[in-house]
């Protein structure tokens, strides 16, 4: 899964339109900061759908 930045805590799971001609959409986990501040992540014309991640917690043992 693609994540905006390794150390960020994703808040949204966003499906972006693929490149024209590509049959695959691109799913990214994006934090709220990147979504609001980086045009590449926040460009609504490129978004197919987005899901808010409520309780995504990573537990390491």
The residues binding Zn ion (CB under 5 A) are 4-5, 8, 31, 34
For Zn ion, which is the closer residue by CB, 8 or 26?
8
State the nearest-atom distance from the C-beta of 34 to Zn ion, in Å. 3
Residue 61 corresponds to which tokens in the numbers above?
């043992």
What phi, psi does 33 have (nearest 5°)?
Answer: -65, -45
DSSP 4: S
State the nearest-atom distance from the C-beta of 10 to Zn ion, in Å. 7
State the nearest-atom distance from the C-beta of 29 to Zn ion, in Å. 9
Within 13 Å of residue 26, how many CA atoms lie on the same side as its CB? 15
């Amino acid at each position: 899964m693609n994540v905006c930045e390794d150390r960020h805590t994703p808040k949204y799971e966003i499906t972006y339109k693929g490149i024209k001609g590509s049959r695959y959409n691109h799913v990214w986990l994006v934090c709220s900061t990147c979504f609001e501040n980086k045009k590449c992540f926040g460009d609504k014309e490129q978004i197919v759908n987005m899901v808010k991640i409520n309780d995504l917690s990573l537990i390491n043992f």
